[in-house]
Amino acid sequence: MITLYHHPLSRAARMVWLLEELGQPYRLERVDIHNGDQLKPAYKAINPMLKVPAVRDGDTVVWESGAICVYLADKYPKAGLAPGVNEAQRGDYLKWMFFASSDIEPAFSLKDVKLDVPALALAWGSYERVLDAIVGVLKKGPFVLGDRFSAVDVMMGSAVQFGIMQKMIPEKPEFTRYLKSLSLRSAFQRANARNEKEMESVKQ
């Protein structure tokens, strides 16, 4: 059984969605990030960055959301969450997966704190460039890979959703259509229900 080190008010929430899409048995292990569980030696041994999410799958431990997506989608191919290494879409899948994990969040965050940094000094160039890239790929279909849903949509979708909720990005028609397509997925709905249940237990 896969173990997800989780807190519902964190990036680990999107990994519940991934696991629901995967269709494999999993369990959540609460890491109370508000009370410092992530700072304890036991968790530091799992993730030296002291962050959630992390997953344990047998003897394998993976952290970083993008790495978790790639690992689990490849490990359990029956779910159809990733193009195979010899499929034409594999390159696009990896390209947007790494873009989602390494460019979107820092670009949005830097814009949010209103820091002016020259584009040449940043790996992602600029907020505007990142935003244009997202809009461009979402014009091509309901999902990042066109008509095919994949694990990259967990990363991209959660980033777009968070960006709109936090008013880091404008509500564009491409984003609205994309988020609607994602919200219709039963795994997305189950994950939201699971995370909401976990949030209720946090409040108690």
pLDDT for 202? 77
Q: Using the predicted structure, report yes or no on whether residue 111 has a pLDDT greater than 90.
A: no
Q: Using the predicted structure, report yes or no on whether residue 60 has a pLDDT greater than 90.
A: yes
What average pLDDT does this structure show over 86-107? 94
For residue range 152-201, what is the model confidence (pLDDT) as tens digits? 999 999 999 999 999 989 999 999 999 999 999 999 999 999 999 999 98
- What fold is seen in the domain 90-185? Glutathione S-transferase Yfyf (Class Pi); Chain A, domain 2 (1.20.1050)
| Helix or strand (DSSP H, E) at 118 | none
Residue showing tokens 């002291």: 50
What average pLDDT does this structure show over 69-76? 98
What average pLDDT does this structure show over 62-69? 97
> Do the Cβ atoms of 79 and 21 come closer than 8 Å?
yes
Equal CATH topology for 2-80+187-203 and 90-185 = no
Q: Using the predicted structure, report yes or no on whether residue 22 has a pLDDT greater than 80.
A: yes
Pairs from 103-110 (Cβ < 8 Å, separation ≥ 24): 103/130, 103/133, 104/130, 104/134, 104/156, 104/159, 104/163, 105/159, 107/131, 108/159, 108/162, 108/163, 108/166, 108/168, 108/169, 109/168
Residue showing tokens 């994950």: 191
pLDDT for 122? 65
User: What global pTM score does this model have?
Assistant: 0.93
Q: Using the predicted structure, report yes or no on whether residue 124 has a pLDDT greater than 90.
A: no
What average pLDDT does this structure show over 102-113? 83
pLDDT for 125? 76
Calculate the average pLDDT of the chain.
Answer: 93
Band the pLDDT of 204: cuts 50, 70, 90. Answer: low
Q: Give the rounded percent of residues in the chain with a pLDDT score beyond 70.
A: 96
Highest CATH level, class, for 2-80+187-203:
alpha beta
User: Would you list the domain boundaries of the chain?
Assistant: 2-80+187-203, 90-185
pLDDT for 120? 67
